[in-house]
């Protein structure tokens, strides 16, 4: 049977979602634990490949399992054994053709910034502290330039071993906006059909430069068109980012 999990995790505890030799990943942790429950090897597929230190509230995972597996056992066991670093919010059987990655229609990420002189202790692991004042007006002016289909080469890390233009970096952004959710706490939310590597963190880093006054809001179109990674801002830190929701 096919099983679908709705997963949240603390990115600080893992070196990313995807399995990779020699690192502790979310995927490997899930595969090891679910495999022990099933009594056979398990391979999981995730809707999004979050980087080291990036959190998730709404990651979706799917895997094939024996018909005898009770999804509720997986939910209880993993949540208990990981001490809260991974929480399974939902676990259920789904149609055999469901795939967490390829069945997804969109992904939504959230990025949180504490914009005040002094950091917020309670948010230090989940928000980027930016002490320089950010202009919300400039942020809101610049953000709509990312909407629609664009080549995001200037905002993405090219896959290893590929030449410029060899792999398409065209992505379609469905929505993007800023909001002030509390006293000097800013939230950026972006939804796209798919994202390329480091795209959200690069966009946030560039928009923060706009908010600081280091870049003009109307410079975004030329950066996109130039497809030159050096023209965009530095990567925002990973700990402020979370995979919030996946749509099917």
Residues tagged active-site: 51
Task: Report d(CA 93, CA 63) in Å as an integer.
Answer: 10
Task: Report d(CA 200, CA 100) in Å as an integer.
Answer: 20
HEC-encoded secondary structure of 125-143: CCCEECCCCCCHHHHHHHH
CB neighbour burial string for 218-235, b if at least 16 within 10 angstroms, e if fewer: ebbeebbeebebeebbeb
Distance of CA 241 to CAs 36, 111, 143, 190, 237, Å? Answer: 31, 4, 17, 11, 8
Give the residue ranges of DSSP H helices in the chain.
26-38, 71-81, 136-142, 199-212, 220-226
Task: Report d(CA 13, CA 53) in Å as an integer.
Answer: 7
Task: Report d(CA 190, CA 175) in Å as an integer.
Answer: 6
Task: Report d(CA 111, CA 127) in Å as an integer.
Answer: 7
Q: What are phi and psi of 96, to 5 degrees?
A: -60, -25
């Amino acid at each position: 049977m096919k099983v679908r999990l709705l997963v949240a995790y603390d990115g600080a505890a893992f070196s990313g979602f995807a399995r990779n030799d020699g690192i502790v990943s979310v995927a490997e942790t899930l595969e090891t634990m679910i495999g022990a429950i099933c009594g056979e090897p398990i391979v999981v597929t995730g809707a999004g490949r979050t980087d080291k230190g990036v959190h998730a509230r709404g990651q979706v995972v799917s895997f094939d399992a024996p018909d005898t597996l009770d999804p509720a056992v997986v939910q209880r066991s993993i949540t208990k054994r990981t001490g809260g670093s991974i929480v399974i919010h939902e676990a259920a059987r789904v149609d055999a053709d469901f795939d967490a990655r390829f069945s997804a229609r969109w992904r939504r990420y959230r990025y949180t910034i504490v914009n005040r002189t002094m950091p917020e202790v309670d948010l230090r692991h989940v928000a980027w502290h930016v002490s320089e004042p950010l202009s919300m007006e400039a942020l809101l002016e610049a953000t709509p330039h990312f909407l629609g289909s664009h080549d995001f080469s200037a905002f993405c890390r090219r896959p290893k071993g590929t030449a410029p233009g060899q792999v398409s970096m065209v992505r379609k952004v469905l929505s993007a906006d800023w909001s002030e959710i509390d006293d000097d706490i800013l939230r950026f939310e972006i939804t796209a059909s798919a994202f390329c590597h480091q795209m959200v963190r690069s966009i946030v880093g560039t928009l923060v430069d706009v908010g600081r006054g280091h870049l003009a809001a109307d410079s975004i179109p030329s950066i996109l068109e130039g497809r030159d990674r050096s023209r965009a801002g530095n990567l925002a830190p990973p700990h402020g980012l979370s995979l919030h929701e996946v749509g099917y």
